[in-house]
Amino acid sequence: MIQKDLTINNKHGLHARPAAQFVKVSSQFECDIWVERDEERVNGKSIMGLMMLAAPSGATISISTDGSDETEAMNALEALVVGGFDDE
């Protein structure tokens, strides 16, 4: 299992569009993906779950991947989050 803390750095935080992008990437991998913030832990393949985290810009989320392709999954998700989801 890999675990990494990342900062949400797009302007509006983890709203619907970034959440959908996150799930579009995470769904491509076999491994289990979890996202945690403020002791709330949601499935990283669930749009509704990610939106319920209500993570604003500047918040730290903790992503963990667990499974055969956990490294690739983590790399892809890290690139997405660090890149600000290409959100304006």
Partner 1 sequence: MDVPVPNPSEDAPILLDKNQNTSKAPIRRLKSMSVRDFYESYQQSLQLVLVGSESGFERKIIEPELNRPGLALAGFYTYFAEQRIQVIGNAEHSYLTCLETKDGLARFRELCRQAVPCLILARGHSLPKAFMDEAHRLQLSIFQTEMASMHFLNAATIRLQWAFAPTTTEHGSMVDIHGIGVLLRGESGSGKSETVIGLIDRGATLVADDLVRFRRIEGGDIMGTSKEVGRNHMEVRGLGLINVMALYGIGAVRLEKALNVVITLRPADDIHQLERLGLEPKTYRILGLDLPHVELLVAPGRDLAKLIEVAAMDVKLKVFGHDTAVEFNNRLLRKLRDHRDV
Determine if 30 is a binding residue for partner 1 (CB under 8 A): no
- Nearest approach in angstroms of CB 71 to partner 1 is 21
> CA-CA-CA-CA torsion for 64, 32, 35, 8, nearest 10 degrees?
70
Residue placing its CB nearer to partner 1 in the complex, 45 or 74: 45
Q: How far is CA 41 from CA 72, 74, 88, in A?
A: 21, 17, 27
Give the per-residue contact string, 44-83, with partner 1 (x = CB under 8 A; - = no).
Answer: ---x---x--xxxxxxx-----------------------
Supply the Cα-derived Rg of the chain in whole angstroms: 11
By CB under 8 A, name the binding residues for partner 1. 12-17, 20-21, 23-24, 47, 51, 54-60, 86
